[in-house]
Amino acid sequence: MSPHTVSSPKNRPKYYDLNLLNLPTPGLVSIFHRITGVAMFLFLIPLALFILQTTLSSEAGFASWKGYFAHPLVKLIVVGFVWSFMHHLFAGVRYLLLDLHIGIAKVPAQNSARVVLVAGLVATAVFAARIW
Amino acid sequence: MKNTKQPVGAHYGWKDWMIQRVTAAVMLVYSVLILGFFLLHGSVAFADWKQLFQNQLVRILSLLFFFAVFYHAWIGVRDVLMDYIKPFFIRLSLQVAVCLFLIVCSIWTVSILWGN
């Protein structure tokens, strides 16, 4: 092995720019895809199952959840989950298209990332307007 | 560690990559159907909700959806753990915890869909 191929990982500089605002749009879509995915795994899966169970088990259970959902703070949490879901969904569709080699050039990829961010926010806004 | 396989790695790469996309498609179709149900019924009453899940086809499609969610979550969370958690034992413990949690969720889902 020539000395040029020997790398020393310890001496390589590491640079983490943790400021999200410095990310290009596709990077922003990507990190939100991750965060929303983990958040839905941790909170939405058990919560959704719990709600499905209580609302199906009795009329009283259904009514109590209808009551909770009328609370503004709960509405805010629901809107947060709706954004998580919609962003994750739109970003996922973008990845499926990229897998099919649709829009993989730099400019179309940047544009589709912007579309994903805006579409997630618009869908959430439409939902929020409907429940308020 | 030279010729050994990491038991906490994704040594079944392309298959999981494909499953991640197939489960995504399943969830997408189901989500559109459920959204359609809510848009058709302006305000959902208990009777409508109950009746919807009495339907055997709805139960089966819902189970398919939730299994897709759980498998999709497993692959996604495993990838996240592989990226950020480097110590072998912590990663393995977390992966086992995620796995067990999702298995419990699967059983719970069956009991919700067919137990009510």
Contacts of A53 in chain B (CB under 8 A): 108, 112, 116
Give the pLDDT of residue A13. 77
CA distance B71 to B16: 9
Q: Interface of chain B against chain A, CB under 8 Å?
A: 21, 24-25, 28, 31, 46, 49-50, 53, 66, 69-70, 73, 76-77, 80, 98, 105, 108-109, 112, 116
Q: Which two tokens stand for residue A40?
A: 């839905």
* Phi, psi dihedrals of residue A13, rounded to the nearest 5°: -70, 140
Residue B2, pLDDT score: 57
Half-sphere CA count of A9, side-chain side, radius 13 A: 0
Give the best residue of A30, A35, A45 to mutate against chain B (max B CB count within 10 A). Answer: A45
- B67 phi and psi angles, rounded to 5 deg: -65, -40
Kindly identify which residue of chain A lies nearest to residue B69, measuring between CA atoms. Answer: A45
State whether B70 and A45 contact (CB < 8 Å).
yes
Mean pLDDT of B26-44: 92
Residue type, B42: G
Give the pLDDT confidence of B61-73 residue by residue, as tens digits: 999 999 999 999 9
Residue A2 confidence (pLDDT): 45
In the predicted model, is pLDDT for residue A4 greater than 60? no
Model confidence pLDDT, tens digit, residues A29-87: 999 999 999 999 999 999 999 999 999 999 999 999 999 999 999 999 999 999 999 99
CB contact under 8 A, A37 and B80: yes
The fraction of chain B above a pLDDT of 70, given in percent, is 93
pTM score: 0.89
Kindly list the residues of chain A whose beta carbon comes within 8 Å of any beta carbon in chain B.
34, 37-38, 40-41, 45-46, 49, 52-53, 55-57, 59, 62-63, 89, 92-93, 96, 99
Q: What is the spatial distance between Cα B40 and Cα A95, in angstroms, rounded to a whole number?
A: 30
Angle at A50 between CA A89 and CA B27, to 5 degrees: 25
Confidence of residue B42 (pLDDT cuts 50, 70, 90): confident
The pLDDT value recorded for residue B14 is 83
Helix A59-70 vs helix B46-54: crossing angle, to nearest 10: 120
- For the record, the structure tokens of B27 come out as 């969830």
pLDDT at A17: 73
Average of per-residue pLDDT across B96-101 = 98
Q: What is the mean pLDDT of residues B6-27?
A: 85
Contact yes or no for B112 and A49 at CB 8 A: yes
Provide the pLDDT for residue A8.
59
pLDDT value for A19: 78
Per-residue confidence at B12, pLDDT binned at 50, 70, 90?
low
Residue type, B105: C
B11 pLDDT higher than 90: no
User: What is the ipTM metric for this complex?
Assistant: 0.90
Average pLDDT for chain B: 92
**For position B22, what pLDDT does the model report?**
96
Radius of gyration of chain A (CA): 21
Contact B21 A99 (CB under 8 A): yes
What pLDDT was estimated at residue A7?
Answer: 56
Length of chain B: 116
How far lies A80's CA from each of A24, A28, A65, A129, B1, in Å?
A: 23, 17, 18, 13, 43
Chain A neighbors of B80, CB-CB under 8 A: 34, 37-38
Is the pLDDT at B19 greater than 90? The verdict is yes
Q: Print the SS3 string covering chain A.
A: CCHHHCCCHHHCCCCCCCCHHHCCHHHHHHHHHHHHHHHHHHHHHHHHHHHHHHHHHCHHHHHHHHHHHHCHHHHHHHHHHHHHHHHHHHHHHHHHHHHCCCCCCHHHHHHHHHHHHHHHHHHHHHHHHHHC
Name the 3-class secondary structure at B6: coil
Q: Which of A41, A49, A63 sits opposite B77 (nearest CB)?
A: A41
Indicate the average pLDDT of chain A. 91
Selected residue with higher pLDDT from A19 and B97:
B97
Rounded to 10 degrees, the C-alpha dihedral A34/B95/B104/A48 comes to -10
Arithmetic mean of pLDDT, A82-106? 97
